[in-house]
Amino acid sequence: MSMGLILLLVVAAGAAWYVFRVRGVPYVAQGSVLVITLDGKVVDHSERPGWVRRLATGAAETSLLDLHAMLEKAAFDDRIRGLLLIVDNPGLGWGKAQELVEMLDRFKARGKEVVAYLESGELLDYAIAAGAAKIVVPQCGWLSFLGLRAEVTFLKDTLAKAGVEGDFVRFKDYKTAADALMRSEMSEAHREMLDAILDSHFASLRGHVAARRQLPLAAVDELIARGSFLPEEARQLGLVDRIAYLHELLEDWNDLAGAERALGKEARAGRRSEVRTVAADRYERVSARFAGVPKGPTVVVVAVHGPIASGESGRPTLLGRAVGARTVVRALRRARQDRRVRGIVLRVDSPGGSGVASDLIWAEVRRCLEDKPVVASMSDVAGSGGYYIAMAAKRIVAHSMTITGSIGVIGGKFAIPGMLDRLAANKVVISRGRYSQMYSSSRRFSDDERELVTRTIRSFYDSFVQKVGECRSMSAEDVDAVAGGRVWTGEQACARGLVDERGGLSKALDVLREEMRLPSEMPLRLAPFPPQMSPLRRLIAGQLGHDGLLAALGQAASEARSAMAVFRDGEALAIAEAVPVIPGRTP
C-alpha cells in the first residue's frame, strides 16, 4: 500500500472522527420530542451504522437493536419528553411488529408521551401504531382491516413443464418445506397447520387491538368484517384519536399528549407553537452517558439472521445471506471467555438450514451455559434449525406471533432428466462406488438410495427430538407429539413447553437480569455481534480483502462528505417453512 493511499485513509478517518465525535454531537433542547420514522426494511441487527446504511443503499433501514438502544437512551434523557412514531408501511413480520410495541410500552412506562402518525395503514401498520397512547391520521388517509391470509404456491406441475422433479425425503408429515416443489395442491396436514397458525395469529391480533383501543372483541370482529375506514369513520369508531396533518399534530402536541403545561413563550401567550423535535438520525449520535443512562454490565447480543450454513457468514444462498456456524461459534466463544461479559442473548430470526451447522452452534451455546447465562430471543421466525440453536439456551422468549418449532428434517435433490431430454443434452456419468451417483441430478433416487437417505434423516430426527427433550425437560414421546416438522406460533409453542416466556428482546433482557441476579431496572450495555463497523473501519481492522480496497476508499470519501454535510445541516423453501401470514392488501 503506497504512502499516498495510507495518507488518504488517515485523513478520511480523522475527518469523520472529528465531525462525529468532537463537533457532531447534536444539541437537544429541553422538552424535545424524538421523531422516529419506520418507512423501510426493519431488521434485527445490521453490521453498518444507520447513516452508513442510508448512504450506501439510498433506502431507509431500521435496526431493532439500534432502536432499542435509542429508546432506552431517550427514556433516561430528561430533555426528551416523548416520541412521535411515523409508521409508513415498514417491511417487517408480525414478530418484529410485536417487538416494536413492547419497546413503546417500556418507553411509556418511564413517563414519556408516545403518539403514532399514520398516513394510511393496514393491519400490520395499525398493530404497531396501537402501541402508542394516541393515533393520528391525516384527512386524506385511510385504514384497511382486510384480515389475514397465508399463501403457498405449488410448483410441481410448473417444474414438470421444464423437465425438473423435486425428489425430497421428509420426516414427518408436517415437514412441508418441500411440498411447494413436490405437490400440486395442499396436503391435509399442511392445511391443518396453516389453519391453526392463522387462528392463533388472528386471536392475538384481535386481542391486541381490543386491549389497546379499549374495545370489546365483538366490536373488533365487526371492524375487520367491515374492511376499511375513512378518517372520520375511524375516529368515530375509536380507532384513531385525531385527524390532522403532521404540522398540525406538532402544533397541537401539548393538547394531544395531555401535557399539563405548554412549553415556549408562544404557547404561554395562547398562540400555537410547534413542539421542539429531534430526528432519530441526529439523536443516535448522542452518547448514552451524555443522556444520563447509568453504566451497566455488558451483555453480548449474537444475531443469527438468515439461513444457517457451515463455514463463515456472508455466503449468498437462494434463501439470502447465510449465517455461518463457524462465525457464530467464534462469537459465542469470545463472549464466553470475555470476563467483561456477564450474559448472552441469542437473537434468532432464521427459518433454519444446515442441520450440521445448527448442531455446531447448539453445542457452543451449551458450552457457554457452563460459564454464564444464555437467553434465546426469537424474532419473526425461529423454525427448524432456528429452533435447534435456540433450544440450547437456559430460557427461550418468543412473541405470540413468532413462527417457531418445525422440529423435523428434510433432504433430497432436484432431478432434471426431462430437462436434459428437452435440450437434447447427453449427460455421461462415470463413477466408482455403489452410491456415487446418489445425488446426481440426472435421475431420481433408486429404492436403495432412498432408503439410505431416509435412514440418515430418521437418525438426525431422532437426535433432534432427543436434544429437545434434554433441553426442555420433556420425554421423547412428548417431544414427538409436538414435533413431526409442525410449525407453531410462539403462543402455541409456549403452551406446549417449547418456549418459556412470551415477549421480545426487552423481555429477554429482563429474564437475563433474573439469571444474573441483577435489579430489574438496571440498564444493560448491549454489545451486538456482528459489531457495527463502517467499510473504512473494517478496512483498518483488516476485515476487507484486496478486492474490497477500492470500494472501501470510495466509501471512506463518501462517509467524510456525508459527515461534513450532517455537520452543516445539523426464499422458495423458506417461504413454505416460515408460513408467511400477511395482512390482506387493498387493491
Quick one: how far is CA 322 from the chain centroid? 15
> Grid coordinates standing for 29?
433542547
| pLDDT higher than threshold 70 for residue 6 | no
Confidence of residue 4 (pLDDT cuts 50, 70, 90): low
Residues 324 and 469 in one domain: yes
Angle between helix 355-368 and helix 325-337 axes, rounded to 10 deg: 0
Residues 252 and 313 in one domain: no
Q: How many CB atoms lie within 10 A of CB 557?
A: 15
Residue 579 lies in a domain: no
Highest mean pLDDT among 249-258, 482-491, 514-523, 572-581: 482-491
- CB–CB of 177/573 below 8 Å? yes
Residues 277 and 331 in one domain: no
Residue 127 lies in a domain: yes
Residue 479 lies in a domain: yes
Residues 359 and 450 in one domain: yes
Rounded distance, CA 122 to CA 110, Å?
29
Give the residue from 6, 4, 8 showing the smallest Cα distance to 557.
Answer: 8
Rounded distance, CA 47 to CA 570, Å?
25
Dihedral over Cα of 37, 41, 44, 45: its sign: negative
| pLDDT higher than threshold 60 for residue 156 | yes
| pLDDT higher than threshold 60 for residue 91 | yes
* Residue 323 exposed, middle or buried by CB count within 10 Å (0-12, 13-18, 19+): buried
Going by the DSSP 8-state scheme, the letter that residue 393 receives in this structure is S
CATH number at residue 235: 3.90.226.10
Question: Mean pLDDT across the stretch 445-456?
Answer: 95
Rounded distance, CA 445 to CA 452, Å?
10
| pLDDT higher than threshold 50 for residue 564 | no
| pLDDT higher than threshold 80 for residue 208 | yes
Going by the DSSP 8-state scheme, the letter that residue 546 receives in this structure is G
**So what's the pLDDT on residue 13?**
58
Rg (CA), the chain: 26
Confidence of residue 385 (pLDDT cuts 50, 70, 90): very high
- CB–CB of 336/372 below 8 Å? yes
- CB–CB of 536/9 below 8 Å? yes
Lowest mean pLDDT among 63-72, 205-214, 268-277: 268-277
Rounded distance, CA 490 to CA 468, Å?
16
Q: What percent of the chain has pLDDT over 90?
A: 72
Residues 352 and 400 in one domain: yes
**So what's the pLDDT on residue 3?**
61
Rounded distance, CA 525 to CA 123, Å?
34
> Grid coordinates standing for 159?
417444474
Q: Phi and psi dihedrals of 432, rounded to 5?
A: -135, 135
Give the residue from 177, 42, 194, 61 showing the smallest Cα distance to 504.
Answer: 42
Q: How many domains does the chain have?
A: 3
Which SS3 state, helix, strand or coil, does residue 194 take?
helix
The Cβ-side half-sphere exposure at 199, using a 13 Å CA radius, reads: 8
Confidence of residue 384 (pLDDT cuts 50, 70, 90): very high
Residues 433 and 302 in one domain: yes
Mean of pLDDT over the chain: 85
**So what's the pLDDT on residue 110?**
93
| pLDDT higher than threshold 50 for residue 260 | no
Q: What percent of the chain has pLDDT over 70?
A: 81
- CB–CB of 516/342 below 8 Å? yes
Angle between helix 94-109 and helix 505-516 axes, rounded to 10 deg: 60
Residues 21 and 85 in one domain: no
Give the residue from 290, 293, 307, 323 showing the smallest Cα distance to 381.
Answer: 307
Domain boundary among the residues 244, 272, 293 is at 293
Residues 263 and 125 in one domain: yes
Residue 18 lies in a domain: yes
- CB–CB of 494/398 below 8 Å? yes
The amino acid sitting at 30 is: Q
Residue 193 lies in a domain: no
For the chain, helix (H) and strand (E) counts, in that order, are: 25, 26
| pLDDT higher than threshold 70 for residue 11 | no
Rounded distance, CA 328 to CA 324, Å?
6
Question: Mean pLDDT across the stretch 29-36?
Answer: 95
Rounded distance, CA 226 to CA 228, Å?
6
Give the residue from 314, 315, 318, 308 showing the smallest Cα distance to 349.
Answer: 308
- Name every residue whose Cβ is closer than 8 Å to that of residue 24 and which is 6 or more positions away in sequence: 285, 563, 566, 567
Residues 384 and 261 in one domain: no
Rounded distance, CA 490 to CA 14, Å?
47
Residue 416 lies in a domain: yes
Residues 135 and 243 in one domain: yes
Name the residue with cell 444475531: 303
> Grid coordinates standing for 102?
413492547
The Cβ-side half-sphere exposure at 271, using a 13 Å CA radius, reads: 5
Residues 311 and 361 in one domain: yes
- CB–CB of 165/415 below 8 Å? yes
Question: pTM of the full predicted structure?
Answer: 0.85
**So what's the pLDDT on residue 387?**
98
Residue 177 lies in a domain: no
Confidence of residue 59 (pLDDT cuts 50, 70, 90): low
Residues 18 and 44 in one domain: no
Range of the domain at 326: 298-529
Residue 327 lies in a domain: yes
- CB–CB of 584/147 below 8 Å? yes
